[in-house]
Structure formats: structure tokens, C-alpha cells
């Protein structure tokens, strides 16, 4: 059994903002703890510090049992967009049947599968002292040879897969290797290099090297890992490891990526799991499965989540990050809200008492200063009072009560034709059967169904994306669509500041841009690049851009996934006042209750309407 011990941890952002200040807590063996707090408070940074991705600027992190880490954006791993499959905004649904790339599920290894790319997938942290290397995408690729050669030159201690190298073009094998123990990763790199050498020359030294690599793969537990991966693939994807090992990660839906990594971590040897928003992208059956697994696993778990039902069912302790400080509630989520209110009241009382004592000491100094001006005998008392005041001020005031967020969304919309969306005999190729749909101006339609059923492709089609389909889908008069992308894959925003985006894209003066960002609690992140914003901050920025664009049809793909509670409530209030039409894909049981129509993508390929939310649709029945 493992544990985590964080002592006096501190972290300052490059802009000088103190993100974490003297953070300390301990998670004991077998404890299920939840890390909560507002978007941008530092939850993901704290996870990265514990995982070893970032070096602590002050303080220490210790633990035992080995670490398995799920990154926040697992589920949003996407490859290069292909005509008819991936739009510029990414997506989370399965690629339509017949539109898959060469790395599809039928087993042929795709040529030239790279292992280089963007950061932010998953990792399994090594024991202390291990070093980082990489694993090739498949046997026979040039990158695999170079990476394995690097492992050889390092004396055999390297080989850990850099999580930033798992991209949409990487195979499922790489995704699974990224959460495998470091020794398995290193053995895989050497085996790839040996297989490549065997393809180039078949002499005795090469054969001996290949035999040694096979032996090392077995000694490292590689064959046992493949047995585990087979069970993971069957549970998450419905097919065995051999059938999907070379399938590109980008062709998996967000829920399939998430479920596959969760299966591997929960079945793996790591005794401590760091899960950053593990419920994102999961449909409701998937969330219920996760709740059951977390309740029964003997592993120590620290998870970040904004799903209140998941927190209520799983969290034994609540660790809150607010205004740079951390405090721990020893009970479950059911008593958390009252505990937070009680804590804020105590902090208010402590601050009031400190202010009163401070004022008394200042009055005492003023009195003795006045008396000492005409009585030299008062000089010693004045000196003592000044010393007392100085020491009191040096000790500092008590912790300030956390400031409540005040997110104010002004989604205005505008009048459009009575029929906002018209679908006639619409069929997304390989995803669903033909259906008809009319959405009227002002309606709120929740789009429900399991992962991989085609919901995101449907929104992307309505948003103007290039999605293979038959039949027709058109928008009514004066309908301006605005698409919220669940995966936050926005190439147009990469490397740009929120302040600069608003000033250039919407012709705002700096004070106007800052006022708009302040309404979304983004004023302190105005000069952070988009990729360095937290998931919730990216989501709020996307909603702000929809507001400023004047969209009259909001197409929202899981908008509450990364939003904290205050932001999600602000979004719901904004949608209630929005003068337009809303279609939203969601697995948020609380958020869905605010809608008045429910469009369900069924497991049998049929699309139908229901009187209320439907959460029991299973995996879509299609050939895999």
C-alpha cells in the first residue's frame, strides 16, 4: 500500500503570482481523497508537482508504492484532422466506420507511426532514481530505433515513455505503455530496436541481440502486461489487444481513451493513483463504473473532479485549494459544504479579533508617544509598546477567508427564424440510422447517449464541419452557430493570450478586454498563453468568445466537464437568459435537468426523443 506526503510546498507562476503557498497534507494508505477548488486555483499544478513533472520551488513531496498518473486531457488526444473525420476543433466521438485510417482496428500496423507531438496524455511515474527515455510507436519505425538506441547508450536505465509523445497518431500500444512500469517501457524500447535491426540484417549478433531483448521483455513482465492490456482493451473497447494495438489513439472516442487508461491504471501495479478529472468524457454508465471501482480498489487515490455525485460516492477526504492555500476536510462530500462555511466563519472571526488587537496596539503606541513628548519617564513604555506592535505585525494576520467566485456570463443571442435546425433523413455515415429533427427557436435540447454514438459529430456538422453524411441538415434564417469544443483543441488560440485574443479578434481596447475577462474570472490570466490555462479557464474563455461572437445557436459539447461548481451554475444562469437556441451534448446529470427536450442516440443506431434524461444506453452496437 502506498501513501503521499506533501510538506510546505510552494509554487510561483512566471508572472510572479503565488499559486501555492506552504501547502502541506498527507494521504494515508488506501485513502480515497478528492482535490477540489475553483478553476485555476492550482489543482492540476499540484498534481504535476506530486507526479514529479514539475520540480518544487520549495517544500518536499514524498511517497511510497509507485505512482500511476492520469492527465487532465486524456480523452482529448487528437491526431491530424482528416477530411470527413476530424474538424479543426477536434472531437471525442469514434471515427465513422469506413473512415478510419490505416491504423484502424483490423490490426495492420500503420506505417510511420510517430511518437513525437504535443504534451498532456498520461504517465506512470518511476521509482526514485529512474530516468526518462521513450518507446517507439511500433516495431520497424525509425523513431523507435533512435529512441531505443538512446536507451542503449544510457546504459539500460532509460526507456520511460515521455507522456508528451502520445499523440492522436500514436497507436494504442503507446498509450498503454505510457502507464506501464518504467522497466516494461525500457524493455519495449529495446525490443523495438532489436526487431528493426532484424529487419535490416539477419546475422548472428543481431539474432543474439533480439533473443536478449525478448528475454528482457519477459523478465520485465512484458508478457504479463500484455495479458493485462488484453483484458483492458476488451473492457474498454470491446476487442482484444491484438486487434487494436496498432489502432491510432485519435480514432478512439474521448470516453474510450479515458476508460482504457483507467482500466490499465486500476489493474496495474502502481499503488498510488493521481487522477486529474477522470470522469470527463465518460458517459453515465462509465461514471457509475468508475464510482464502483474507486469504492472497491485497495489503492491510494487522489482525484480531481467537479462531479458532485462522484465525489459524494467515492471521496473519503476532501482537500481544497483556495487562494494559494490548502485545507483538509476529514469527512466526505456530504458534510463538505457545511465544513467550508464553518471554516470561513472561523477565519472571519480570527481576522476580526486580529484587527481589533492591532488597533488597540496602535492606540497604545499613540498614547505613549504623546505622553513621552512631555514626560521622559514614558520613553521606556513607548519603546516597549512599539516593540510589541512590531512583533505583532511581523507575525502577520491570520489567513484571509477565500473569495467567492463571481462569474457573470452575458449570453445574449438574437431573434432567428422559427425553425432553427432542420434535419431530414439525416444519417452520419456509419454512426446512426436516418432520422428527422426540427428544433424551434428558443428550445433547449440535451443530446444524450453513450460515447462513440455520434453526438459530437452531429454538433460538428451543424457547426459547419466536414462530416460524412447523407440526407440534409440545415439551419434556419439568421441562425449563427457557435461551437464549444469539448477537447479544447483550438489551433487558432495556441500560443495567444486571452487579452490579445479579445483585442485583435473583437477590436476591444485593453480596458474593455480586461473588463470582459473579469466577468469570467480570467483577469489574472489575461497574459497567460491558452495552453497554460487550466481546463476550466479554457472552457470559460471559449464561452466568452461565443458570447462576443453573437451566436444565436449554441452547440455545446460537454461544456461543464472542466467547469467548477460556481462556473457551471453561472453557465446555467446564462443559458436561461440566452435569447436563442441551445443544443448541448452532456453526461452531467445535474446540468441535463435544466433542458426541456432530450434527443437520445441509442445503442441500436436509432435516434429518438424522450420525455426525460435517459442514462442507460449502452455501447453502440456496430462492427469493431
Of 51 and 406, which is predicted with more confidence? Answer: 51
Grid coordinates in use for 428? 452520419
pLDDT at 132: 34
Judge whether residue 168 has pLDDT over 70.
yes
Who has greater pLDDT, 208 or 124?
Answer: 208
pLDDT band of residue 79 (cuts 50, 70, 90) is low
Residue 85 has pLDDT above 70, yes or no: no
pLDDT digits (tens, 9 = 90+) for 532-544: 888 788 888 999 9
Question: 230 or 96: whose pLDDT is higher?
Answer: 230
What per-residue confidence (pLDDT) applies to 377?
86
- Output phi, psi for 215, to 5 deg: -65, -40
Lowest mean pLDDT among 135-139, 363-367, 611-615, 618-622: 135-139
What is the DSSP pairing of strand 325-329 with strand 58-64? unpaired
Q: Is the pLDDT of residue 25 over 80?
A: yes
Helical (H) or strand (E) element with 337: helix 336-372
**Contact yes or no for 473/457 (Cβ under 8 A):** no
Task: Tell me: pLDDT of 464 over 70.
Answer: yes
Quick one: cell of 283?
A: 458517459
The answer to whether 257 and 74 have CB atoms below 8 angstroms apart is yes
> Confidence band (pLDDT; 50, 70, 90) for 107?
very low
Q: What gap in Å lies between CA 602 and CA 606, rounded to an integer?
A: 5
Closest CA to 484 of 544, 396, 432: 544
Helix spans in 473-577 (H):
498-505, 510-519, 535-549, 565-577
Residue 591: the pLDDT is 87
In the structure grid, which three cell numbers stand for residue 526, read together? 489575461
Report the length, in residues, of the chain: 624
CA 171 – CA 136 distance, rounded (Å): 10
Q: What is the DSSP secondary-structure string of 56-115?
A: -SEEEEEEES-EEEE-TTTT----S--TTT-BTTB--SPPPTT---TTSTT-PPPTT---
**Any idea which of 133-137, 211-215, 252-256, 319-323 has the lowest mean pLDDT?**
133-137
Catalogue the E-assigned strands of 477-561: 481-484, 553-557
Residue 78 — pLDDT band, cuts 50, 70, 90? low
**pLDDT band, residue 280 (cuts 50/70/90):** confident
User: How does residue 623 score in pLDDT terms, banded at 50, 70 and 90?
Assistant: low
pLDDT over threshold 60, residue 155: no
pLDDT interval class at 26 (50, 70, 90): very high
10 Å Cβ neighbour count for 260?
Answer: 26
d(Cα 387, Cα 410) in Å, to the nearest integer? 53
Domains present along the chain, CATH in parentheses: 102-270 (no CATH), 419-610 (3.40.50.300)
Strand pairing category for 553-557 and 444-449: unpaired
CA dist 424 and 326 (Å) reads 54
Chain centroid to CA 243:
28
Q: In 477-509, where does DSSP find H-type helix?
A: 498-505
Report d(CA 244, CA 257) in Å as an integer: 13
- Average of per-residue pLDDT across 417-441: 92
pLDDT, tens digit, 9 for 90 and up, residues 477-502: 999 999 998 766 788 888 899 999 99
Provide the pLDDT confidence category of residue 120 given band limits of 50, 70 and 90.
Answer: very low
- State the Cα–Cα distance between residues 482 and 64, nearest whole angstrom: 47
Q: Cell 473525420 belongs to which residue?
A: 85
Residue 353 CB neighbour total at 10 angstroms: 11
Q: Which range has highest mean pLDDT (199-203, 407-411, 461-465)?
A: 461-465
Task: Please give the full DSSP string across 265-320, using - where no structure is assigned.
Answer: HHHSS-SEEEEESTTTT--HHHHHHHHHHHHH--SEEEEE---HHHHHHH-SEEEE
For residues 309 and 362, the answer to whether their CB atoms sit within 8 Å is: no
Q: What's the mean pLDDT in 18-38? A: 91
Q: Compare 67 and 100 and report the one with higher pLDDT.
A: 67
- According to the model, what pLDDT value does residue 488 have? 62
Amino acid at each position: 500500500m502506498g501513501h503521499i506526503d506533501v510538506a510546505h510546498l510552494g509554487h510561483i507562476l512566471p508572472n510572479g503570482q503565488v499559486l501555492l503557498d506552504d501547502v502541506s497534507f498527507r494521504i494515508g494508505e488506501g485513502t480515497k481523497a478528492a482535490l477540489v477548488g475553483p478553476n485555476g486555483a492550482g489543482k492540476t499544478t499540484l498534481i504535476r508537482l506530486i507526479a514529479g513533472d514539475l520540480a518544487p520551488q520549495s517544500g518536499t513531496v514524498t511517497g511510497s508504492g509507485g505512482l500511476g498518473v492520469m492527465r487532465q486531457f486524456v480523452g482529448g488526444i487528437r491526431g491530424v484532422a482528416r477530411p470527413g473525420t476530424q474538424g479543426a476543433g477536434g472531437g471525442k466521438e469514434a471515427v465513422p466506420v469506413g473512415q478510419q485510417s490505416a491504423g484502424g482496428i483490423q490490426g495492420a500496423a500503420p506505417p510511420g507511426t510517430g511518437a513525437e507531438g504535443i504534451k498532456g496524455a498520461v504517465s506512470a511515474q518511476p521509482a526514485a532514481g529512474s530516468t526518462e527515455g521513450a518507446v517507439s510507436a511500433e516495431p520497424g519505425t525509425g523513431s523507435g530505433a533512435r529512441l531505443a538506441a538512446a536507451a542503449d547508450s544510457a546504459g539500460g536505465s532509460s526507456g520511460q515513455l515521455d507522456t508528451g509523445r502520445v499523440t492522436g497518431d500514436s497507436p494504442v500500444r503507446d498509450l498503454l505503455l505510457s502507464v506501464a512500469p518504467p522497466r516494461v517501457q525500457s524493455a519495449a524500447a529495446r525490443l523495438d530496436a532489436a526487431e528493426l535491426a532484424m529487419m535490416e540484417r539477419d546475422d548472428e549478433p543481431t539474432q543474439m541481440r533480439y533473443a536478449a531483448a525478448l528475454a528482457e521483455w519477459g523478465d520485465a513482465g512484458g508478457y504479463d502486461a500484455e495479458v493485462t492490456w488484453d483484458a483492458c482493451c476488451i473492457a474498454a473497447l470491446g476487442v482484444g489487444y491484438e486487434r487494436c494495438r496498432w489502432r491510432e489513439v485519435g480514432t478512439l472516442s474521448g470516453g474510450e481513451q479515458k476508460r482504457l487508461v483507467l482500466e490499465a491504471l486500476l489493474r496495474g501495479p502502481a499503488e498510488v493513483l493521481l487522477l486529474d478529472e477522470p470522469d470527463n468524457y465518460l458517459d453515465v454508465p462509465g461514471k457509475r463504473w468508475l464510482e464502483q471501482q474507486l469504492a472497491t480498489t485497495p489503492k491510494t487515490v487522489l482525484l480531481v473532479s467537479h462531479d458532485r455525485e462522484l465525489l459524494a460516492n467515492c471521496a473519503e477526504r476532501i482537500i481544497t485549494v483556495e487562494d494559494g492555500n490548502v485545507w483538509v476536510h476529514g469527512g466526505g462530500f456530504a458534510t463538505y459544504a457545511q465544513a467550508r462555511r464553518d471554516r470561513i466563519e472561523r477565519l472571519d472571526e480570527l481576522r476580526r479579533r486580529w484587527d481589533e488587537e492591532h488597533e488597540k496596539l496602535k492606540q497604545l503606541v499613540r498614547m505613549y508617544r504623546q505622553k513621552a513628548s512631555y514626560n521622559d519617564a514614558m520613553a521606556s513604555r513607548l519603546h516597549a509598546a512599539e516593540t510589541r506592535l512590531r512583533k505583532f505585525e511581523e507575525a502577520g494576520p491570520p489567513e484571509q477567508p477565500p473569495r467567492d467566485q463571481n462569474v457573470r456570463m452575458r449570453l445574449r443571442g438574437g431573434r432567428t427564424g422559427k425553425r432553427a435546425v432542420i434535419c431530414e433523413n439525416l444519417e452520419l455515415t456509419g454512426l446512426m440510422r436516418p432520422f428527422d429533427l426540427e428544433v424551434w427557436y428558443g428550445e433547449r435540447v440535451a443530446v444524450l447517449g453513450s460515447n462513440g454514438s455520434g453526438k459530437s459529430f452531429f454538433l460538428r456538422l451543424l457547426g459547419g464541419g466536414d462530416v460524412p453524411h447523407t440526407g440534409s441538415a440545415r439551419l434556419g434564417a439568421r441562425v449563427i452557430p457557435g461551437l464549444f469544443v469539448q477537447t479544447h483543441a483550438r489551433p487558432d488560440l495556441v500560443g495567444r493570450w486571452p487579452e490579445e485574443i479579445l483585442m485583435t479578434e473583437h477590436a476591444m481596447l485593453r480596458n474593455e478586454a480586461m473588463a470582459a475577462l473579469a466577468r469570467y474570472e480570467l483577469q489574472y490570466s489575461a497574459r497567460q498563453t491558452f495552453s497554460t490555462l487550466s481546463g476550466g479557464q479554457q472552457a470559460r474563455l471559449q464561452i466568452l468568445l461565443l458570447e462576443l461572437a453573437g451566436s444565436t445557436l449554441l452547440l455545446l459539447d460537454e461544456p461543464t466537464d472542466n467547469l467548477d461548481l460556481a462556473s457551471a451554475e453561472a453557465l446555467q444562469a446564462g443559458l436561461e437568459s440566452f435569447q436563442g437556441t441551445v443544443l448541448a451534448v452532456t453526461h452531467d446529470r445535474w446540468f441535463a435537468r435544466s433542458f426541456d427536450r432530450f434527443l437520445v442516440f441509442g445503442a441500436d443506431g436509432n435516434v429518438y426523443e424522450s420525455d426525460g434524461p435517459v442514462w442507460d444506453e449502452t455501447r453502440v452496437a456496430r462492427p469493431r
